[in-house]
C-alpha cells in the first residue's frame, strides 16, 4: 500500500505539471489581457503595469519564472485583487466552498444511495417508477433553475430561509440542496442499475436460502457489492462539489472559490487562473487516489499494486 | 401415514408467469420422502428438477407460483406460507447448496462472517458463539486450518473448498433436509468425488435427508435410495436406484442410461445420444412430453398423456409403449 501511494504521488506530480504547462500556454493564446478592460489607461501606465507583473517578457521567460515560483510554493500575486497573493485568496475562498460542497456531498450520498437501492428492490413497482421519474427530472433540471425555484418557494413565498449570503445555519440549507440535487439523483440511478445487477447474482440467492431478511440482504449482502460504481463517481464529484459551483455561488451570493474561478478567467487574472486550475487539478487527483484506496477497503478482491 | 413423510408433495403444479405467457414448469409432480432418505432427481436442463426442489423452501423466482397441489415439508404447508414464515425454515430446517461455489458466496464478506450469519439467524448463538460454531462447521466439512479460513475471503479459496464452505453454511442449523442442486457440476472430477464422499459421511453423521439434483447418473447411482426421472415438468419414472438402473421402464430413462459411457465393457460402441430438443413448456405437447424425441414413439403417444403404471413397490413409469408391451406379455400374445 505505501509503495502504491508513493507511485501514485509521483504520477500525480507529473500530471499536475502537465496541467500547469498546458493551462499556462492555452491561457496566453486566448486574446485579451488583464488590463484591457480598464478605462483610459495610458500606454505608459499599461507598460508599467505589464512590467510589474512580468508580462512584458517573452512567454518562455514568463513560463520559467512562474514554474520556478510554483516549485517554491509561490502562486504569485493576483492582478485584479491588488496586494493579495493567489494563495491567500484560495485560502479564504476554498473553505467556504468546501463546507457547502461537503455538506451537499453527504446529503447526496445519504439520499441517492438508499433511493437507488429501494428502487431496485421494488423493480417495476410504483415506488421504482416514482424514483425513476424523480431522478430523471432531477438530472435534467439545471442548477440555476432549481436554485431559483428554491429561492422562490422558501424565500419569496414561505419567508423561511434567507436567499443571500452565509449568515447563519439556515442560509446553508438552500445552496446545499441546490448543489446536492444533481449528484443525489445521479447516484440513485447508478445505484439502481448496479443494485439490479447484484440482485441477480448467485450469492443473493444464497442469502435468501439462508433465511436472511430483505432489509439485511439489501444492506449487508447487496449494498457493499453494488456501491463500487458510486464510489468511482464520488472522486470527481467530491472535487467538483468542494471547489464550488459558479452558478450556485452566484445565485446565493456566496463568496466561494467557484465564482472566483470563473470571474478570474473573464478578467484574465493570469496568476489567479493558474493558481485555481492547479489547485483544482491537484484536488481531483488526490480525491481519485482516495477513491482507489477506498475500493480496496470495500472490495477485498481489489489489490493495490 | 402422511405425517410420517419429511417431504410430501402431492400433484404440485407450478407455473412461471412471464410476459410471453404461462410457463408450466411443473405438472402434477408428486414426491414423498422420509427422514434420512436420499432422493435423486435426474433430468436435463429445464425439466423442472431444480424448481421441484426449490419449491420445498419457497425459493422459486418471484414470478413462479404454485397453482395447484400441495407441498408439505416437515409439517409445514409450504404453498400457504408467507415469505416471513418461509424465512424461518430456510437455512434452518431445510438448506441448499448450489451448483457454482465460485459465485454462490458473497465476495465482500469473510467466510467466517457468512457461516456465522447462518448460525446466528436461527439459533441463540450470536457473535463469538456463532463464530465458534462456524469454526466447528469448517472442521466438520474437512477444511484444514479453520481458524485461518474464517478470516479469508471466498476468492482466496479453491472451488472445492468453497463448496465445502457452502456445505458448512447449509449445515449450520443441522437441517432435516439438504437440497443439493448439482453440487459437483462446477468442480473437477477428483474434487467431485471428495464432495460426494463428504456428503455421504455427513448424512450418516447427522441423519438428514438429501435431495440430490443432477444430470449425472453416476452421482445418483452412488448416493441415492430413490430416483425420480423428470422430463418436461413431470416425473416420468420413479423407483429405487436398482429399479431405475436395472429395470428402466420409460424410454427416456433408457435413453439416459444408454448415454453413459461404459468403460468396463469390451466393446467400445458409440454412445447413443437422445436426439432433438427439450419441449417448450409455454406450449406443452398434448400427449407424452417425450414423444417428439422418442425413437419408439407410437401414434397414440402424441395424443394421450400416459398415466402412472406401477411395476412393483414404488417403481412407476408414465410410458404407453411399456404399457402396451406389458399388456401383450400378460395376454400371452408372444414376443414383445
Q: Which of B104, B153, B155 comes nearest A203 by C-beta?
A: B104
Q: Give residue for cell 416437515.
A: B74
Angle, vertex CA B96, rays to CA B186 and CA A202, nearest 5: 55
Among B89, B92, B108, select the one facing A225 at the smallest CB separation.
B108
Is B103–A209 a contact, with Cβ atoms under 8 angstroms apart?
no
> What is the reported pLDDT for B333?
58
- Inter-chain contact A220–B109, Cβ cutoff 8 Å? yes
Question: Cell digits for A86?
Answer: 493567489
- Tell whether B221 lies on the interface with A, counting CB pairs under 8 A: no
Q: Which residues of A touch B100 (CB under 8 A)?
A: 202
Grid coordinates of B126: 450470536
Please name the member of A203, A210, A220 whose beta carbon is closest to the beta carbon of B90: A210
Query: ipTM of this model?
Result: 0.83
pLDDT in tens, A34-92: 776 666 677 787 788 778 777 878 888 888 888 888 888 788 888 777 778 888 888 88
Confirm whether A109 is domain-assigned.
Answer: yes
Distance CA B336, CA B321 (A): 10
- A211 contacts B87? CB cut-off 8 A: yes
pLDDT the model gives residue B312:
84
Of B107, B108, B121, the CB nearest to A210: B121
Q: Quick check: B155 and A300 CB within 8 A? A: yes
Residues 39-68 of B with CB under 8 A from A: 57, 59
Residue A211, chain B, CB below 8 Å: the answer is yes
Of the given ranges (A147-156, A279-288, B35-44, B278-287), which has the lowest mean pLDDT? B278-287
pLDDT of residue A49: 78
Residue B282's DSSP bridge partners are none
Interface contact A61, partner B, CB < 8 A? no
Nearest to A202 among B88, B103, B155 (CB): B103
Burial class of B199 by CB neighbour count within 10 A (0 to 12, 13 to 18, 19+)? buried
**Angle value at C-alpha B50, between B48 and B55, nearest 5 degrees:** 95
Predicted confidence (pLDDT) per residue in A87-116, tens digit? 888 888 888 888 899 999 999 999 999 999
- Give the pLDDT score at B266: 66
Residue B69 is placed in which grid cell? 397441489
Model pLDDT, residue B268: 67
The residues facing B227 across adjacent strands are B40, B239
Q: Per the structure, how many domains does chain A have?
A: 1
B64-73: strand order across its sheet: B21-34, B5-18, B64-73, B76-77
Class of domain B2-232 (CATH, top level): alpha beta
Q: What is the dihedral of CA A169, A175, A180, A183, to 10 degrees?
A: -150
Kindly report the backbone phi and psi dihedral angles of residue B331, in degrees, each rounded to the nearest multiple of 5, phi listed first. -85, 5
Which 148-177 residues of chain B touch chain A by CB within 8 A? 153, 155, 166, 169
Q: What percent of chain A clears pLDDT 70, i.e. is strictly above it?
A: 98
Residue A52 touches partner B, C-beta closer than 8 Å: no
A182: domain CATH number? 1.10.3720.10
Q: Given this model, what pLDDT does residue B63 score?
A: 82
B271-278 — which CB contacts under 8 Å span 24+ positions? Answer: B278/B44, B278/B45, B278/B46, B278/B47, B278/B232
**CB-neighbour burial class of residue A60 (10 A; exposed 0-12, middle 13-18, buried 19+):** exposed
pLDDT of residue A6: 87
Average pLDDT per 10 consecutive residues for chain B, totaling 336 residues: 75 88 87 90 87 88 84 88 89 90 91 92 87 90 90 90 90 90 84 86 88 86 90 91 90 86 70 80 83 86 87 89 84 58
A-B contacts (CB, under 8 Å):
69
Is A211–B117 a contact, with Cβ atoms under 8 angstroms apart?
A: no
Residue B209, beta-bridge partner list? B177
SS (H, E, C) chain B: CHHHEEEEEEEEEEEEEECCEEEEEEEEEEEEEECCCEEEEECCCCCCHHHHHHHHCCCCCCCEEEEEEEEEECCEEHHHCCHHHHHHHECCCEEEECCCHHHHCCCCCCHHHHHHHHHHHHCCCCHHHHHHHHHHHHHHCCCCCHHHHHCCCHHHCCHHHHHHHHHHHHCCCCCCEEEEECCCCCCCHHHHHHHHHHHHHHHHHHCCEEEEEECCHHHHHHHCCEEEEEECCEEEEEEEHHHHHHCCCCHHHHHHHHCCCCCCCCCCCCCCCCCCCCCCCCCCCCCCCCHHHCCCCCHHHHCCCCCCEECCCCCEECCHHHHHHHHHHHCCCCCC
Would you call A209 and B89 a contact, using CB atoms and an 8 Å cutoff? no
Q: Is A122 on the interface with B (CB under 8 A)?
A: no
Beta pairing partners, B5:
B34
**Contact flag B153-A300 (C-beta cutoff 8 Å):** yes
Does the CB of B311 have a partner CB in chain A at under 8 Å?
no
CA-to-CA distance for A204 and A226, rounded, in angstroms?
12
Whether A62 is in a domain gets the answer no
Cα A77 to chain centroid distance, Å, stands at: 25
How many CB atoms within 10 Å of residue A298? 15
The residue whose grid cell reads 489567479 is: A272
Non-local (6+) Cβ contacts of A274 within 8 A are A20, A23, A24, A27, A66, A75, A76, A86
Quick check: B103 and A201 CB within 8 A? yes
Q: Is the pLDDT reported for residue A1 higher than 80? A: no
Amino acid at each position: 500500500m505505501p509503495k502504491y501511494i508513493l507511485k501514485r504521488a509521483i504520477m500525480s506530480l507529473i500530471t499536475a505539471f502537465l496541467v500547469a504547462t498546458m493551462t499556462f500556454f492555452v491561457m496566453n493564446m486566448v486574446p485579451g489581457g488583464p488590463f484591457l478592460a480598464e478605462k483610459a489607461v495610458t500606454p505608459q501606465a499599461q507598460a508599467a503595469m505589464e512590467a510589474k507583473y512580468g508580462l512584458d517578457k517573452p512567454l518562455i521567460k514568463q513560463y520559467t519564472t512562474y514554474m520556478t515560483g510554483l516549485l517554491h510554493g509561490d502562486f504569485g500575486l493576483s492582478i485584479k485583487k491588488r496586494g493579495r497573493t493567489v494563495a491567500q485568496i484560495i485560502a479564504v475562498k476554498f473553505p467556504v466552498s468546501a463546507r457547502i460542497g461537503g455538506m451537499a456531498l453527504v446529503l447526496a450520498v445519504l439520499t441517492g444511495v438508499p433511493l437507488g437501492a429501494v428502487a431496485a428492490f421494488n423493480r417495476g413497482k410504483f415506488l421504482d417508477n416514482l424514483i425513476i421519474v424523480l431522478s430523471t427530472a432531477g438530472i435534467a433540471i439545471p442548477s440555476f433553475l432549481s436554485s431559483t425555484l428554491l429561492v422562490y418557494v422558501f424565500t419569496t413565498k414561505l419567508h423561511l430561509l434567507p436567499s443571500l449570503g452565509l449568515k447563519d445555519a439556515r442560509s446553508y440549507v438552500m445552496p446545499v440542496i441546490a448543489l446536492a440535487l444533481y449528484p443525489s439523483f445521479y447516484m440513485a440511478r447508478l445505484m439502481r442499475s448496479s443494485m439490479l445487477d447484484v440482485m441477480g447474482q448467485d450469492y443473493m440467492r444464497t442469502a435468501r436460502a439462508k433465511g436472511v431478511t430483505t432489509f439485511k440482504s439489501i444492506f449487508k449482502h447487496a449494498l457493499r457489492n453494488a456501491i463500487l460504481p458510486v464510489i468511482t463517481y464520488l472522486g470527481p464529484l467530491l472535487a467538483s462539489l468542494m471547489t464550488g459551483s459558479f452558478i450556485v455561488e452566484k445565485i446565493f451570493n456566496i463568496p466561494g472559490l467557484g465564482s472566483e474561478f470563473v470571474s478570474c478567467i473573464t478578467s484574465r487574472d493570469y496568476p489567479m487562473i493558474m493558481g485555481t486550475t492547479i489547485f483544482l487539478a491537484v484536488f481531483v487527483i488526490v480525491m481519485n487516489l482516495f477513491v482507489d484506496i477506498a475500493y480496496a477497503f470495500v472490495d477485498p478482491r481489489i489489490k493495490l499494486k | 401415514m402422511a405425517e410420517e413423510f419429511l417431504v410430501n408433495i402431492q400433484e404440485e403444479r407450478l407455473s412461471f408467469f412471464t410476459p410471453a405467457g404461462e410457463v408450466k414448469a411443473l405438472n402434477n409432480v408428486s414426491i414423498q420422502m422420509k427422514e434420512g432418505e436420499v432422493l435423486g432427481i435426474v433430468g436435463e436442463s429445464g425439466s423442472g428438477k431444480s424448481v421441484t426442489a426449490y419449491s420445498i423452501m419457497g425459493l422459486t423466482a418471484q414470478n413462479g407460483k404454485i397453482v395447484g397441489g400441495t407441498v408439505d415439508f416437515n409439517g409445514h404447508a409450504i404453498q400457504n406460507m408467507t415469505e416471513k414464515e418461509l424465512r424461518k425454515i430456510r437455512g434452518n430446517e431445510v438448506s441448499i447448496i448450489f451448483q457454482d461455489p465460485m459465485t454462490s458466496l458473497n465476495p465482500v464478506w469473510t467466510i467466517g462472517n457468512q457461516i456465522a450469519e447462518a448460525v446466528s439467524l436461527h439459533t441463540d448463538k450470536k457473535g463469538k458463539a456463532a463464530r465458534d460454531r462456524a469454526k466447528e462447521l469448517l472442521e466438520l466439512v474437512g477444511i484444514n486450518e479453520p481458524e485461518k479460513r474464517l478470516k479469508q475471503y471466498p476468492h482466496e479459496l479453491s472451488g472445492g473448498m468453497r463448496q465445502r464452505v457452502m456445505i458448512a453454511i447449509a449445515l449450520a442449523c443441522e437441517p432435516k433436509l439438504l437440497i443439493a442442486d448439482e453440487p459437483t457440476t462446477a468442480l473437477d472430477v477428483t474434487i467431485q468425488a471428495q464432495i460426494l464422499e463428504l456428503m455421504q459421511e455427513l448424512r450418516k453423521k447427522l441423519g438428514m435427508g438429501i435431495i440430490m439434483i443432477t444430470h449425472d447418473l453416476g452421482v445418483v447411482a452412488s448416493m441415492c435410495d430413490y430416483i425420480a426421472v423428470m422430463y418436461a415438468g413431470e416425473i416420468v419414472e420413479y423407483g429405487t436406484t436398482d429399479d431405475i438402473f436395472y429395470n428402466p421402464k420409460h424410454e427416456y430413462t433408457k435413453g439416459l442410461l444408454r448415454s453413459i459411457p461404459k468403460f468396463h465393457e469390451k466393446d467400445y460402441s458409440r454412445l447413443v445420444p437422445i436426439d432433438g430438443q427439450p419441449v417448450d413448456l409455454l406450449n406443452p405437447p398434448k400427449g407424452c412430453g417425450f414423444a417428439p424425441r422418442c425413437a419408439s414413439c407410437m401414434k397414440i403417444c402424441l395424443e394421450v398423456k400416459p398415466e402412472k403404471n406401477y411395476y412393483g413397490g414404488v417403481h412407476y413409469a408414465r410410458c404407453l409403449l411399456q404399457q402396451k408391451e406389458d399388456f401383450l406379455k400378460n395376454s400371452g400374445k408372444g414376443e414383445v
